Amino acid sequence: MDTRMFKVPAATTPGEELDRFMAGLKRRNPGEAEFHQAVEEVAKDIVPFIHNNPVYKDAYILERMTEPDRTIMFRVCWEDDQGRVRVNRGYRVQMNNAIGPYKGGLRFHPSVTLGVLKFLAFEQTFKNSLTGLQIGSGKGGSDFNPKGKSDREVMRFCYSFMTELERHIGEDTDVPAGDIGVGAREIAYLFGQHKRMSNSFTGVLTGKGLSFGGSLIRMEATGYGAVYLMNNMLEHNGESIEGKTALVSGAGNVAQYATEKLIELGAKPVTLSDSGGFIHDPDGITRERLEWVKELKNVRRGRISEYADEFGCEYHEGLRPWGIKCDLAFPCATQNEIDMEDARSLISNGCLAVAEGANMPSTNEAVDLFNESKLIFAPGKAANAGGVAVSALEMSQNASRLAWEEAHLDDQLKGIMKEIHEQCVQYGKNEDGSINYTRGANIAGFVKVADAMLAYGII
């Protein structure tokens, strides 16, 4: 790449530098709207920061960080239950390995494109850095839709996907995990095929079953971690989670375990959703009802509307839950599920704090509105980092051939989320003493990776 295109005259303002940087990024990555959005959200904080710290600017660190180390795209052919040939596209974006092996999940969803995976891999750079662990960033997946497929079809797809991916990953090179559409079942099929092809049993994937190298707490870690970070933020403001009414979106891995931890800490989660709509259970989702949801979503693979039929509460088809009055909100489904209007509803309904369980669930305009208001807002790269943190702990356990106890892992997760909170406070403090967690997470995540890249010279 010709870096001369990035050269800016010394006398420009941070605002002009941001415009110029974003124009260049959009020119080089046409049609990748989610990637542009994710980079812009970070660059708004980093460009002014590097303006005042020219060592990063002169070395073009942000330009290097927004260019993946490599992207791999491949054909995935498989045979469905009717014997028909099906063709999907597979990807792995190896974004940045300055501070450790590439690490980040695999997403199987029809909306997957290269731009979506580049946004996720870019976010992962900052998130993984914030955990304080030795993990670089990556993301991958396919436009394959597991919904409505039989177990055998999912198995054949996973085998075919791994047949290509196997040569690109390794326990010291790149360690994928789950994400939307990739849960325990898919990780087991992928790991089984990797083991067979490589004739080795190594920690090359995380989120594995407990009988074959998985870690306790991994399944729970993203949702639990988001609630721990929320707790840290509330405590910092003299508040507590107990007794608070919470909105949760999604009904998958992250939503289920955020809801579980909210119940355990005495909060009242009242909503869950999926791509069909949301349920509102005003008396609070109980432990028993949550167990029913886990069975519905993880075993029967049904729709959240069935909750309303089973327990006699409201189901709002085609809608998102952000118009319901609440104290706390946990978007845990997917990107761009909170827009300006949703953000306005949350603020005007008196919501105290939002912690993003999902990646980039709020649009950049919604994030700006949250940060301009008194609402306490934690971006996904801080709030959902618990999942990848425990994945890194799974890698450590695999490398040492040991399995740690649940209480030890949960303590580590709590400690990591607390440390993330402290980094956000360090870099995100406003003049009035309030915390801009977006800026704090962006700058803290940037500095560690940037310093490693500087140390390597021009790589």
What residues are labeled active site?
A: 139
Q: Which of residues 324-383 bind ligand NDP (CB under 6 A)?
A: 332-334, 357-359
> What residues contact residue 131 under an 8 Å CB cut-off, 6+ apart?
385, 388, 389, 392, 416, 420
Q: Minimum Å distance from CB 221 to ligand NDP?
A: 7
d(CA 191, CA 159): 9
For the CB of residue 251, give the shortest distance to ligand NDP in the complex, in Å. 4
Residue choice 216, 241, 254, 366 for contact with ligand NDP (CB under 6 A): 254
Of 32, 41, 45, 179, which one interacts with ligand NDP (CB under 6 A)?
Answer: 179
- Considering the complex, what minimum distance in angstroms separates the CB of residue 228 from ligand NDP? 14
Interaction mask 232-251, ligand NDP, x per CB under 6 A: ------------------xx
- Number of C-beta neighbours around residue 408 at 10 A: 12
H, E, C per residue of 269-300: ECEEEECCEEEECCCCCCHHHHHHHHHHHHHH
* The one segment of 30-38, 67-75, 82-90, 173-181 that binds ligand NDP by CB under 6 A: 173-181
Q: Does 253 bind ligand NDP (CB under 6 A)?
A: yes
What amino acid is encoded at 32 in this protein?
A: E
Size of the site for ligand NDP (CB under 6 A): 23
**């959240």: which residue's tokens?**
304
Residue 334 or 442: which CB sits closer to ligand NDP? 334
Q: Note whether 275 binds ligand NDP by CB under 6 A.
A: yes
Give the whole-angstrom CA distance, residue 30 versus residue 437: 30
Please report whether residue 181 would count as binding ligand NDP according to CB under 6 A.
yes
Rank residues 250 and 269 by Cβ distance to ligand NDP and give the closer one.
250
Least CB distance to ligand NDP at residue 271 (A): 12
Rank residues 101 and 250 by Cβ distance to ligand NDP and give the closer one: 250
- Residue (6 or 311) nearer to ligand NDP, CB: 311
Q: Which residue is nearest to ligand NDP (CB)?
A: 252
Q: Are 221 and 407 in contact (CB under 8 A)?
A: no
Contact between 178 and ligand NDP per CB under 6 A: yes
97-156: contacts with ligand NDP (CB under 6 A): none
Q: Does 225 bind ligand NDP (CB under 6 A)?
A: no
CA distances from 271 to 77, 225, 240, 294, 380 (A): 39, 19, 20, 14, 19
Question: How far apart (Å, rounded) are the C-alpha atoms in residues 308 and 304?
Answer: 8
Question: Nearest distance from residue 161's CB to ligand NDP, in Å?
Answer: 16
Among 222, 345, 397, 398, binds ligand NDP (CB under 6 A): 222
Contact of 453 with 129, CB cutoff 8 Å: no
Q: Can you tell me whether residue 119 is helix, strand or coil?
A: helix
Counting contacts by CB under 6 A, is residue 384 touching ligand NDP?
A: yes
Q: In the complex with ligand NDP, which residue's Cβ is closer, 50 or 121?
A: 121
- Interaction of residue 392 with ligand NDP, rule CB under 6 A: no
The minimum distance between CB 157 and ligand NDP, in angstroms, equals 16
Backbone angles phi, psi at 244, to 5 degrees: -85, 140
CB of residue 289 vs ligand NDP: minimum separation in angstroms?
16
Query: Residue from 387, 428, 440, 445 that binds ligand NDP (CB under 6 A)?
Result: 387
Q: Which is nearer to ligand NDP, 358 or 409 (CB)?
A: 358
Residues forming beta bridges with residue 94, ordered by sequence position: 70, 138
Among candidate residues 150, 157, 146, the one with its CA nearest the CA of residue 109: 146
- Share in percent of the chain as helix, strand, coil (round to 5): 50, 15, 30
Q: What is the DSSP code (8-state) at residue 179?
A: B
Tokens of 382: 């801080």
Report the amino acid identity of residue 81.
Answer: D
Length of the chain: 459
- Applying CB under 6 A, which residues contact ligand NDP? 178-181, 183, 222, 250-255, 274-276, 332-334, 357-359, 384, 387
